[in-house]
A and B are shown apart, each in its own frame.
Chain A
Amino acid sequence: MTNNIYQFFFIYLYSIITIFLLAVIGDFVSISIFLSKNIFIYKNIFLYCFLYAVCFFAIRIIITNQVSNIFIFIISLILSYFFLINKEINAYQLVIIISVFIAFNLLLQKYFTAKNFSNFLFEVSFLKFLKTNSLIFFSFIIIFPFYLMFVSSLKSQMVLLQNPTDLSIPFFYSISDFFSSYIAVITQYNFLNFALNSTIVSFVTVFVSLFFSIPGAYAVARLRFVGRSKISSSILIIYMVPAIVLVIPLYVIFSQLGFRNSLFSLMIVYPATTIPVALYMLQGYFKGIPYELEESALIDGCSRVGVILRITLPLSVPAILSVSLYVFMIAWNEFLFAFMFLDNQEYFTIPRGLYTQLDDQEVPRQYLMAGSVMITVPVLLLFFLFERYLVGGLTAGSVKG
């Protein structure tokens, strides 16, 4: 009996947290997207919690046949009823909440009935709740800003100002209204030009960076020469040199040489800053390729360069792909050098253009968000397409941030 009461309070406590998060998430994901209202009000939390407790113990009584739970069940029922008649509750919410309750309870039952957990019932259930809630929490803190970015970019200025907390996607807009901010950003703010510049710079950076780092990485990974250990250990140190230390002298030098305000300046600097990490990632991969393959080719009379072209490179396509992606992302996302070096609008990359053209109190916020969506989407698309390679590359290369 006492055990059950303890359980009740534990469950009750956890359920407050869970329901709070669930209600917020449920609101965002299912209801507000379609109904365009702010249904979730914090005052209802207690109601949700009681409902949760009711369902939980109802199911528990049914499954375990423990009559002692009936007492608690009745109390919660009365309290819930009390809350129900005082507050309005939306039918959609009720359906969602109850289905979530049931799912949660089934999950919980699994752990409560598992035999070997019986010693640490509270601990296990606590950890389980913590885990579920944390998953919800993490998903929420990550998705929410991106979702808001996306939703705001679709709204009209009036709707945004009237109700900034409205998170619904405006399905009822016509197509041209729906994408009006995007069209405005492209037509009024020269966005396609920025995108073109960014694309050119990023691709050139990838090619130059690979062109330099592949032979370098091969030399460090495979060839024996004096100073090899020095070079390989200095790669990462160079990688830690902050951009801000480089930017002032480079600004001065490039101003003197006259190619500061050009895409060319970025095409020199980006590869130079990404070569160390590309080299580091690639040499790690090259070392993993069995040396016997190369050795046998060498004995058969193939030259070193032939070995690299015929054996090493074909074998390291995944690594090269992940390095290219990674370098592409660095170049695409880079802000500082573009910000310092570029003055003319015609040379702006997307981050530079976003900063100057759209980050202005005069410019409606939905344009800024539309620009942000447009710079983010290519990166996230690439990321999702090649996630497998990228995750491997990120861990291998101990990525710069």
Chain B
Amino acid sequence: MFNLNKESKLAYTMLIPTISIVFLIILFPIFGNFWLSFKEVKLGDLRAPQPIIKEKLKTKDIEPGDDILIEYRFKNSSQKKPIFNIEITDKISEFISPVEIAEGCSVNNNLLSCYFEEWKPKYNEKIIFKFKANDNFEIDNFNPKESKPRGVADADNILTNLKFSIKNFQKILQKNETIENIKVTFLYSLFATIGALLLGISAALLLEKNFLGKGFFRGLFLFPFVSPVIAVAFTWVYILDPFKGFLNNYLLNNEFISEPIFFLGLKKVDFFGFDFPFTLFIVILFESWRYFPLAFLFILARLQAIPKDLYEASDIDGATRIQQFFYITLPQLLGVISLLFILRFIWNFNKFEDIFLLTGGNAGTRTLTVQVYDEAFALSNMGTASSVAVLIFILLAIFVFIHQKIAPKDIEE
């Protein structure tokens, strides 16, 4: 009906800003991550090698006509890499004029400029520049530190050059920790998802029927989800604190336990001869607690869409409530539950903050996301951190592929 060409043109103009910002901040960093994972970049390499210049006045009590010595200290900031084409500029006082200055330097209109071809790694030299105080020299207005010397230089940037290696991946895969972390991540994602779904289903069943105060409860049940993670995580840490915390003190006061339990610091607990990852379990509880509201909302919406005549018919046939749940409600919910399962699984897989804030990845709760952080900032190795992130990304791509297969194509509707 309308001019299709014009329409698509408009559509593209409307979408281009969105697509470009998403491309810049999401797709480009993903590419950057792959790029970094093949480079041996340390945290320190992020600062490109630079010339460092400092000046120092060597002469005291200057009178007009005196010689003035100013010491310039030239330094290459990098310990490993040379820098090239160094250009230095510094504004010098109008009250002095040059007498003897280093090779490659010149003074023009009170502007000292120098050029050097190359500084080797660890280059560090002090050069004394000799100036003469002019007749109109005033000590009060003379301050060589007034203007800071500036330097620019070219350097080989490890981030942009084309040298690649697979050492990061070798390093990561040789660590025993990595395999352990993958296992923990899977356990954590799986059980946190199951926990959240179970709680969500029960909460939704509770609020299925209309009753006084239903709206209040629905709002209340969403609290853990909408609150800032940092606040609820700190509160949990505080409750579970072995000495100051509520729970331990409560249990101690009532003589349920004789000594405090380190809820967030017990890697393994012997449980009928089987190593039970206790802290991981606590973290999973937290995660289920925090994310069940989401499952609850979705399932509640689906529950209310189940045709009521199904229940009426089964009532007439004499089905009990429990039978109704298993033969009517559950099959009707299966679609939304499986969708929620894969979504929550993926999001739990991506979670960083929750575990980081609760345990910092200690006591057997180091997931891959926490490992990324540790590699990057505890071990200062951006390269291996990126390679772990790549690992996450690849595993995730598999899950997303599964999600695409399972998810209903509601977008196309």
Contacts and interface: CB of A to CB of B under 8 A. Distances in A.
A135 B32 contact: no
Nearest to B31: A249
- The listed residue with most B CB atoms (<10 A of its CB), out of A119, A139, A165, is A165
Interface string A126-166: 01000100110011011101101100100000001101110
Given A135-B217, A383-B219, A124 B321 contact: yes
Given A161-B244, A216-B18, A223-B10, A376 B228 contact: yes
Contacts of B159: 252, 256
B352 A236 contact: no
Contacts of A387: 215, 218-219, 222
B22 A240 contact: no
Contacts of A368: 234, 238
Nearest to A218: B14
Contacts of A233: 404, 409, 411-412
Given A135-B206, A145-B235, A244-B373, A164 B246 contact: yes
Nearest to B386: A248
Nearest to A398: B343
A400 B373 CA distance: 21
Given A149-B235, A164-B249, A379-B228, A213 B30 contact: no
B188 interface: no
Contacts of A138: 199, 202-203, 206, 217, 221
Interface stretch (B105-113, B147-155, B293-301): B293-301
Interface in A194-248: 212-213, 215-216, 218-220, 223-226, 228-229, 231-233, 235-238, 240-246, 248
A236 B342 CA distance: 13
B254 A41 contact: yes
Contacts of A255: 46-47
A284 to B, nearest CB: 9
A225 B343 contact: no
Interface string B248-268: 011001101000000000000
B210 interface: no
A359 B385 contact: no
A253 B347 contact: no
Interface stretch (B62-70, B80-88, B170-178, B392-400): B392-400
Nearest to A147: B235
Contact of B232 (A145, A220, A401): A145
A249 B244 contact: no
B230 A375 contact: yes
A146 B7 contact: no
Contact of B231 (A241, A372, A395, A401): A372
A248 B26 contact: no
Given A248-B36, A368-B238, A380-B227, 7 more contacts: A164-B244, A225-B7, A229-B411, A249-B29, A249-B30, A335-B230, A401-B294
29 contacts: A120-B321, A127-B321, A138-B203, A142-B220, A145-B232, A213-B18, A215-B18, A225-B8, A232-B412, A235-B411, A243-B350, A244-B350, A246-B25, A246-B26, A249-B28, A249-B386, A250-B29, A251-B376, A252-B32, A252-B41, A252-B382, A255-B46, A269-B25, A335-B357, A350-B228, A372-B231, A380-B223, A383-B222, A383-B226
> Which 5 A-B residue pairings sit nearest by Cβ, starting from the closest?
A249-B32, A272-B25, A242-B350, A225-B8, A372-B231
